[in-house]
Structures are given as structure tokens and as C-alpha cells.
Amino acid sequence: MPSAPRPRHRLQHRRWLRDVVLTLFVLGSLLAGWHWLSPASSPVHYLLTPEALPAIPREHRPATLDPALIPPPWDEGYRIARERPALLERLACYCGCYWSQGHQNALDCFRDRHAEGCQLCLRIAQRAEQLDRAGYSLEEIKRLTDREFSPPR
């Protein structure tokens, strides 16, 4: 007796499953390649690297507030931002301002009174200055501050 042909819906289901798996593989490969080629400040890097937020320098560097207008101890963070803007604009801030206020980097925290009263903004600026004075490269400072201040995911 001849065997009965396979039901058509089973073949269609297998093709659909194969197509889904192939599509997911291609998309995953593209995303992995983009991550590998993307700079550390890209959103892809942030999504695939749990310890890093992007730090995107603005086209025109924002002016920071005068440290003399800010009470201690917060004035120290504003002093660091005034003296080392190129350093802070390459670092991320982990106090939540990235999402809540649209800050692109740690320097943005010091362009208004946001960092006044924020312990984390102050500590990131202090740590960055400490590492910079110790002779660390900008890439090393970014990596170390990301590791030290990023929340676990």
C-alpha cells in the first residue's frame, strides 16, 4: 500500500520555521557586526555592552555654570567641568539624566543646576579628574568610570 502524502500544512509550517530561524540569524549577525564596528558612544554599543552608556559630545560644547555661583561641595564638580570640558563630554553620567533630561554626556550635567545636589554627578567628575591627573588615557578613563558607576543590569 502506498504511503499517504504528508499534509500540506506540515510542510508550510517547516518552511515558515526555517525562514524565521534564518531571518533571526541574519538579523543577529547584522547587529553583532554593527556592534563590533560601532564606536563606544553608539546606542548599539550601549544596548550590547551592559556596563556602558553612550557619551556623545555635542556639536557646540555647552557653557557650564560658574563654580562661584554653586555652594560647596558641588562647586568642585562645576570647577572640573570648567577646567576639563573635553574630558567630561566623553564620559557618561549614570544618575538617570540620560533618559530623564536628555543629557548626552557628563558635561551636560554642569550646564545648569542639575549637578548641584547630585552626588553621582560630582563623583563622576572627581573620579575623571583623578584618573586624568594619574595619566590614564581617555579610553581608559571612559572604561573605568563606566565600570565603576554603571548600575548592574
HEC profile for the chain? Answer: CCCCCCCHHHHHHHHHHHHHHHHHHHHHHHHHHHHHHCCCCCHHHHHHCCCCCCCCCCCCCCCCCCHHHCCCCCHHHHHHHHHCHHHHCCCCCCCCHHHHCCCCCHHHHHCCHHHCCCHHHHHHHHHHHHHHHCCCCHHHHHHHHHHHHCCCC
- Taking the CA atoms of the chain, what radius of gyration do you get in angstroms? 24
Q: Rounded to two decimals, what is the model's pTM?
A: 0.65
Instruction: Give the range among 6-10, 94-98, 105-109, 138-142 with minimum mean pLDDT.
Output: 6-10
Confidence at residue 45, expressed as pLDDT on a 0 to 100 scale: 52
pLDDT band at 52 (very low <50, low <70, confident <90, very high): low
